[in-house]
Amino acid sequence: MGQYFRVYNLTNNNSAATIPSTINFGLPWVKNLHKYDEEDQISIFKDIIKDNNWKETDKLKAKGDYGDVVSYENGKLSNSFEEEAEDYEVSE
């Protein structure tokens, strides 16, 4: 089945990506983001930034529904796990 990741722009008032992603058949989330290699993850984040008219310097966080988190800032990735995988408050 897999883990679905919703991408949030922490720089831009925690707004969530709403533009359909080419990665997941036109849906605004990414399936199994944590399983892609680093190069592909960076490419996915860059596509999301472009599609949502965000800035390259924005801090993004993708939260999976099982607690895995992939963060992107200034071209760098970091991975973590949040026990409570609650959604951020978002303004869409």
**Sequence ranges of the domains in the chain:** 4-81
**Phi, psi torsion values for 43, nearest 5 degrees:** -60, -40
CA distance 65 to 24: 15
Q: Which amino acid is at 48?
A: I
Element (H or E) spanning 71, and its range? strand 68-73
Closest by Cα among 34, 23, 48 to 82: 34
pTM exceeds 0.85 for this model: no
Q: Per-residue pLDDT for the chain (92 aa), expressed as one digit of tens each? A: 789 999 999 998 868 888 777 666 777 888 899 999 999 999 999 988 988 889 999 999 999 999 899 999 998 998 888 765 455 555 54
- C-alpha distances out from residue 24 to 30, 55, 74, Å: 6, 22, 24
